[in-house]
Amino acid sequence: MKTLTLLVSFIGGLVLFSCQTKPIYDEPIKELDSLKIVIQQALVNFKTIDSATCYNAQHKQSTYLHFLETHLKDTISKQDAEQIQQFQSLKSGFDTYVKYRSNWIQRAQQSIHQLQTLTNDLKNGSVNHTEAVSYINEEKTNAFQAIEVLKTNTDNMRKHIELYNQYLPAYESIIKKLNAGALPQLITTNS
């Protein structure tokens, strides 16, 4: 009887011990899954930015800036100078967007993939505890950074597009004054 009690206690202890190792990662798995959803939503929001508008704006600004650099010889009014400065202040934002857009998307997609892989590994017990904590922290940090980059640039580009559309008519009017009523032909690029 003592042997049977001891055997049942031993088996019960094993069952309890084996059940305790899996729930250790329940909270981190839920957190990683939530982060994955947040980054996916940030990526969807980022992709709603009209990239064609951004590319065209950057291209048009480059053309107009080149025109001004080569044709603006006279003094212009303070109002015209301010409008030119406002319009040109948007250029670096469009340049950054055009340059890094694909990198930001790729980084977010990589983070989503890494979060999914880590979640699967934690569920399957494929990672030892010491490594798991390190991986969880690293992937959470990477995900938070990717989310912040996407959200910041989504907000920035929406504002840039809004201001671009607001400033464009006045800017083109200035260009036309300097160019006998016509806009310069857009410079073709090899991009």
| CB 150 within 8 Å of CB 62 | no
In a domain, 123, yes or no: yes
**Span 73-89, pLDDT tens digits:** 777 889 988 988 999 89
In a domain, 4, yes or no: no
**Span 109-157, pLDDT tens digits:** 999 999 999 999 999 988 888 899 999 999 999 999 999 999 999 999 9
Q: Which residue has the higher pLDDT, 173 or 191?
A: 173
Q: Which residues contact 161 (CB under 8 A, 6 or more apart)?
A: 49, 50, 53, 54, 57
CA 92 to chain centroid, in Å, comes to: 17
In a domain, 117, yes or no: yes
Q: Which residues contact 158 (CB under 8 A, 6 or more apart)?
A: 49
Q: Give yes or no for residue 2 having a pLDDT over 80.
A: no
Q: Which residues contact 171 (CB under 8 A, 6 or more apart)?
A: 64, 83, 84, 87
Question: What is the percentage of the chain residues whose pLDDT exceeds 90?
Answer: 61
In a domain, 149, yes or no: yes
Q: Which residue has the higher pLDDT, 13 or 43?
A: 43
Question: What is the percentage of the chain residues whose pLDDT exceeds 70?
Answer: 86
User: Domain total for the chain?
Assistant: 1
As given in the structure block, the two tokens for residue 18 are 């084996």
Cα–Cα dist 132/175, whole Å: 60
Query: Confidence band (pLDDT; 50, 70, 90) for 20?
Result: very low
In a domain, 68, yes or no: yes
Cα–Cα dist 10/118, whole Å: 33
Q: What integer best gives the mean pLDDT of the chain?
A: 87
The domain containing residue 174 runs over which residues? 26-178
In a domain, 151, yes or no: yes
In a domain, 100, yes or no: yes
Query: Confidence band (pLDDT; 50, 70, 90) for 5?
Result: low
In a domain, 6, yes or no: no
**Span 94-104, pLDDT tens digits:** 999 999 999 99
Length of the chain as a residue count: 191
pTM of the predicted model as reported, rounded to 2 decimal places: 0.79
